[in-house]
Amino acid sequence: MLSPGTTAQADPPAPVVPLPRRRGIEFTLIVVAVLLSVYGYCDVGIARTGSVPPGAVGYGAGLGVLALLAHLAVRLRAPNADPLLLPIGVLLNGLGLVLIYRLDLETPDDPAAPTQLVWSTLGMGLFIAVVVLLRDHRVLQRYTYVSVVSALVLLVLPIFFPSVNGARIWVRVAGFSIQPGEFAKVLLAVFFAGYLAANRNALAYTGRRVWRLQLPTGRVLGPIVAIWLLSVGVLVLERDLGTSLLFFGLFVILLYVATGRTGWIAVGLLLAACGAVAVGWLEPHVHSRVEDWLHPFASIEAGLGPNQLAQSLFSFAAGGMLGTGLGLGHSVLIGFAAKSDFILATAGEELGLAGLSAIFLLYGLLVERGYRAGLALRDPFGRLLAVGLASIVALQVFVIAGGVTGLIPLTGMAMPFLAQGGSSVVTNWIIVALLMRLSDSARGRSGTAQAEEAGGSERAKGIEGIEGIQGAEGGVAP
């Protein structure tokens, strides 16, 4: 007996027609993305000074060359990859540079766009490197435990460096600030995917059964819970609440996808609620964030002027439906985090609800394409990795966008690609590169990647066998 939507339909018979590769579409979309970014850049200049900013040609050429190089790498090494992922990355990154450049005009003493351009270059360089060098994503499964050790080292590292603005999440080397927690996201996703792919049956079907809940054995569950607790604990120590929330969500989602046990979600939500209430009450930093969320205008009523969240809400409100136009808003009133955590407020004010929705939909499309790759893939590791990476983007966007729009308490996080922050841009390019690789494998299966499949068919059969067992029992257990 097969549960609906599992292997029966996802495993087509022998390929007949190769999927269209759609590299031409990708090229066209990249050109559009670059042109949109250059247009935004020029628009800011015209709105502010009445003339096209002098760097427009250089900016457009730089972004265009980088995007084309990335495109060439994809044509060469991942010809079947999803054609939407790269253009979305280019557009969001380009738009982010425009927004940061726009805010730089308000803070001439503290320009951030040039640095961001350097980091973007590095990020796209790493994108190319990953696409070129990583021929098969399954290689990563071998590094499951290397990943988790590196992730933990990266997470612990900032403890030895001074805190910045209340959070101890930066490492300063030679004038550059790096946020190791950003890179740890990818490594942790690799670890979760690798570990769960290897142990998911044990997690789902072994251990004692208490009432209707099938508990896994401690030997299997223990290590992953320990790793997860450790990372969240470290992050709480470092006051990086956004990232700890992200890891928590990632863990619960992957556990659910791997085991299909709704119980995990219930337990996860229960734990999250307890943790959130405890931290919210006991930890003053978090407590003030929660207070700000509940009463964003309390500081105004107290005569202290609007706080960052209130300024952010003012920004969004000022944008209205169509926005003030690039360069014509006043989101700089938000203060020091305007270019990083609150970059979305600038988008909301100057591009309006229309522009903001477009940005949200771009993220939504990015996430959806990641999930689609996960659905099309055969190996559990690949599937979990794709879901994990896409979920990282989704959760991160939700946590920070929900925070700056007053939907949930604010936790400092970087809007993927948009926000100022080198580690963030680099990490997100790596995430997109991995998703490209995963989607290339997923879509390539049906057509050109047969040679690869010939070698891996044994293994694929084995995997499908497990899938079959799961399908058979899955109808009863959950």
Partner 1 sequence: MTRYIRHAAAFCALLLLALLVNATRIQLVQARSYDENPANRRHTIARYGQPRGDILVGGKPVTGSKDSGQQFRYERTYKNGPLYAPVTGFASQVYGTNLLEGAEDDILAGTDPLLSPLPLWNDLTRARNPGGHVVTTLDPAAQRAAYEGLGDRRGAVAALEPSTGRILALVSTPSYNPEELSGTDSAVAQAWTRLNQAADKPMLNRAVRQTYPPGSTFKVVTAAAALDAGVVEDVDEPTKSPDPYRLPGSSVRLTNEVEGCADASLRYAFAWSCNTVFAKLGVNVGVAGMRAAAAGFGFNERQLRVPFRVSPSTFDTRVDQAQLALSSIGQYNTRATPLQMAMVAGAVANNGSVRTPHLVERTTTDDGDTVSATGQRTLRQAMNPATAVQLRGLMTDVVERGTGKNAAIPGATVGGKSGTAQHGVHNSGTPYAWFISWAKADDAVEPGVAVAVVVEDAEADRGDISGGGDAAPIARDVMGAVLGR
* Region binding partner 1 by CB under 8 A among candidate stretches 145-153, 186-194, 284-292, 297-305: 297-305
Contact 54, 41 (CB under 8 A): no
Closer CB to partner 1, 301 or 458, in the complex: 301
Q: Which stretch binds partner 1 (CB under 8 A): 77-85, 122-130, 374-382, 423-431?
A: 374-382
CA 131, CA 252: separation in Å to the nearest integer? 29
Which residue number, 218 or 335, has a Cβ lying nearer to partner 1?
A: 335
Which of 1, 4, 12, 210 forms a contact with partner 1 (CB under 8 A)? 4
| Beta carbons of 169 and 438 less than 8 angstroms apart | no
Say what the alpha-carbon torsion angle 321, 396, 431, 363 is, to the nearest 10 degrees: -20
- Segment (H or E) for 178: strand 176-178
- Give yes or no for residue 446 binding partner 1 (CB under 8 A): no
Q: Is 414 in the site for partner 1 (CB under 8 A)?
A: no
Report the alpha-carbon distance of residue 176 to residue 478 in Å, rounded.
Answer: 49
User: Does residue 444 interact with partner 1 by CB under 8 A?
Assistant: no
Which residue lies nearer to partner 1 by CB, 158 or 249?
A: 249
- Measured CA to CA in angstroms, residue 55 lies from 123, 324, 375 at distances of 21, 23, 43
Q: How far is the CB of 474 from partner 1 (least distance, A)?
A: 8
Say whether residue 380 binds partner 1 (CB under 8 A). Answer: yes
Write out the DSSP string of 154-174: HHHGGGGS--BTTB---EEET
Q: Does 326 bind partner 1 (CB under 8 A)?
A: no
Nearer to partner 1, 357 or 457 (CB): 357
210: left (phi over 0), alpha (psi -120 to 50) or beta: beta
- Which range binds partner 1 by CB under 8 A, 78-86, 165-173, 367-375, 423-431? 367-375
Using the rule CB under 8 A, is 253 a contact of partner 1? yes
How many other C-beta atoms are found inside a 10 Å radius of the C-beta of residue 197? 22
Query: Which residue lies nearer to partner 1 by CB, 117 or 399?
Result: 399
Nearer to partner 1, 117 or 253 (CB): 253
Site membership for partner 1, residue 293 (CB under 8 A): no
Q: What would the x/- binding string for partner 1 be over residues 68 to 87, using CB under 8 A?
A: --------------------
Could you give the CA distance from residue 393 to residue 385 in angstroms, rounded to a whole number? 13
- Find the binder of partner 1 among 27, 228, 248, 363 (CB under 8 A): 363
Supply φ then ψ for residue 210, to 5 degrees. Answer: -110, 115
Shortest CB 168 distance to partner 1, Å: 28
313 binds partner 1 (CB under 8 A): yes
Comparing C-alpha atoms, which of 402, 369, 399, 398 is closest to residue 386? 369
* Burial readout 378-412 (b: 16 or more C-beta within 10 A, e: otherwise): bbbbbbbbbbbbbbbbbbbbbbbbebbbbebbbbb
Torsion of CA 144, 230, 286, 420, to 10 degrees: -30
Whole-angstrom distance, CA of residue 28 vs CA of residue 23: 9
Q: Which of residues 124-163 bind partner 1 (CB under 8 A)?
A: none
Q: Segment near partner 1 (CB under 8 A), from 210-218, 383-391, 419-427, 438-446?
A: 383-391
397 binding partner 1? (CB under 8 A)? yes
Binding flag, residue 396, partner 1 (CB under 8 A): no
Q: At what angle do helices 241-259 and 180-205 cross, to 10 degrees?
A: 30
Query: Least CB distance from residue 5 to partner 1, whole Å?
Result: 5
Q: Which residues contact partner 1 (rule: CB under 8 A)? A: 3-7, 10, 253, 256-258, 260, 297, 300, 305-306, 310, 313-314, 316-321, 324, 330, 333, 348, 352-353, 356-357, 360-361, 363-364, 367-368, 371, 374-375, 380, 383, 387, 390-391, 394-395, 397-398, 401-402, 405-407, 467, 470
